[in-house]
Chains A and B, each alone.
Chain A
Amino acid sequence: EDQVTQSPEALRLQEGESSSLNCSYTVSGLRGLFWYRQDPGKGPEFLFTLYSAGEEKEKERLKATLTKKESFLHITAPKPEDSATYLCAVVGWSGANNLFFGTGTRLTVIP
C-alpha cells in the first residue's frame, strides 16, 4: 500500500535559520512526488513536482530534492511569510488518479 510519512510534525525556526523538511514514501512505481503549501483556512497550493531520483526543483527560498525513498524540502533563510503547513503527496503508476498525501509539517518562522 502506498504510504507517505512527513517529519517533523511541527518546526519552529528563527527568521534566517535554514532547515529541511522530510517526506518518506513507499509506492509501487513512483509516477510523481508533489509538494504543496497550505495556509490556515485555505486550500493547498502546488509548489513542485519531482519525477525521478536525483531531480531537484527550486523556487525562491525553497528547494525540493528526491531520492528513491524520500524527498526533502530545504528552506534557506526563511522569512515569516514562509510560515505554513507543507504537504507531500505521491502517485504511483498503479494508483490511477489517487494522490496519497502525508499529514504535513507545520512550519512557523519567528521574526
Chain B
Amino acid sequence: NAGVTQTPKFRILKIGQSMTLQCAQDMNHNYMYWYRQDPGMGLKLIYYSVGAGITDKGEVPNGYNVSRSTTEDFPLRLELAAPSQTSVYFCASSYSREDTGELFFGEGSRLTVL
C-alpha cells in the first residue's frame, strides 16, 4: 500500500518554463489537495478536488492549474514558472468531507525556480 505518491521529488526550473507535478493515491480517497510549504509559513492550500471531474481553488491558486480525470490522480500544473513558486509542494488526500482534517500526505516535491 503506497499511500500518496508524488513525483518528481526534486526539480529545478528556469523562469518561464512549465512543468507538472504528479500525485497519485491508492486508498480510493475522494478528496485530494495540493499544498505549498514555505520556510516560516504554514502550509497553504493551492487547489483541492472532491472527486473526479471536480476541482476548486484554495487560498493561493494563482499561477497553477489542476485537473482530476480519475479518482487516483491529481496533477498540478505550473505555467510560466516564477521565482515566487520556489517551494515544497505536498499532495494530500482524505476519504470524505468529514475526514477533511485527517489528511494523508505525500513526501513532497521540492521545486526551485531560477
Contacts and interface: CB of A to CB of B under 8 A. Distances in A.
B101 to A, nearest CB: 4
Contacts of B107: 41-43
Contacts of A43: 4, 90, 92, 105-108
Nearest to A89: B101
Given A43-B90, A43-B108, A101 B101 contact: no
Contacts of B90: 43-44
B50 A34 contact: no
Interface stretch (B11-19, B39-47, B64-72, B73-81): B39-47
Q: Which among B33, B43, B101 has the highest number of chain A CB atoms within 10 Å?
A: B101
A91 interface: yes
Interface string A34-63: 100000011111100100000000000000
Q: How large is the interface on B (under 10, 10 to 19, 20 to 34, 35 or more residues)?
A: 20 to 34
Given A34-B101, A43-B106, A46-B103, A98 B59 contact: yes
B95 interface: no
B45 A98 contact: yes
B43 A101 contact: yes
Contact of B42 (A32, A41, A49, A100): A100
Given A46-B102, A91-B101, A98 B58 contact: yes
B108 A97 contact: no
Interface string B74-112: 000000000000000010100001001111111110000
B75 to A, nearest CB: 17
A45 to B, nearest CB: 7
Interface in B19-60: 31, 33, 40-45, 48, 50, 56, 58-59
Given A97-B100, A98-B59, A103 B92 contact: no
A57 B107 CA distance: 26
Nearest to A3: B42
Contacts of A32: 100-101
B57 to A, nearest CB: 10
8 contacts: A32-B100, A87-B42, A89-B42, A89-B43, A97-B45, A98-B45, A99-B101, A103-B41
